[in-house]
Amino acid sequence: MIEWVFFPAAYLIGSVSSAIIICRMMGLPDPREQGSGNPGATNVMRIGGKKAAGITLLGDLLKGLIPVYAAQLLQAPAELLAATGLAAFLGHLYPVFFGFKGGKGVATSIGVLLGFSWLLGLAFVATWLLVYKLGKISSLSALVASALSPLYAWFIIGNSVLVAATGVMTIILLWRHKSNIQRLMAGAEQEIKS
């Protein structure tokens, strides 16, 4: 039963805000107070450029991947994998170290999906890249990839528990992006300049 320590550990790992830490280390403004106010890679890109955003993206991805991959190495059952992944994801959204005000969860969810299955994570990334290439809108790319991820999980993994966990992340991601969805519907969502 020692494996169940992964749930609280994953939440604490998820609670480490890559965006805030990277911005502090690089002498950039607090991402919660600049741009969109969201402590995530897209907002860090706006205020600090590609390098800062890339490091933030990697950090957020790893905090989803590492706990799930560690559970995989211990041959944890699907229920524990799902709980570990959701804990890391929720830690990013509601970080205990930063007043429970976190990012929207896209990069961390990618890490969790990679932990569930490399192919599943790559399917998400490929979808994001394709939609971004067509529209240059990060939020739209994330929304489409997230919406399709439970379907990908069903065909790639087939395990109902992990498919359900993927579906829960999708629902939360869509909810966290509700302001982006409103702007997309109004034609007011901005492209990310590369």
Number of domains within the chain? 1
Residue 17 domain flag:
yes
Residue 193 domain flag:
no
Residue 191 domain flag:
no
List the domain range (segments joined by +) for residue 24: 2-186
Residue 113 domain flag:
yes
What's the Rg (C-alpha) of the chain? 16
pLDDT tens, per residue, the chain with 194 residues: 566 788 899 999 999 999 999 999 999 999 999 888 889 888 999 899 999 999 999 999 999 999 999 999 989 999 999 999 999 999 999 999 888 889 999 999 999 999 999 999 999 999 999 999 998 888 899 999 999 999 999 999 999 999 999 999 999 999 999 988 898 888 877 766 44
Residue 192 domain flag:
no
User: pTM (2 decimals)?
Assistant: 0.92
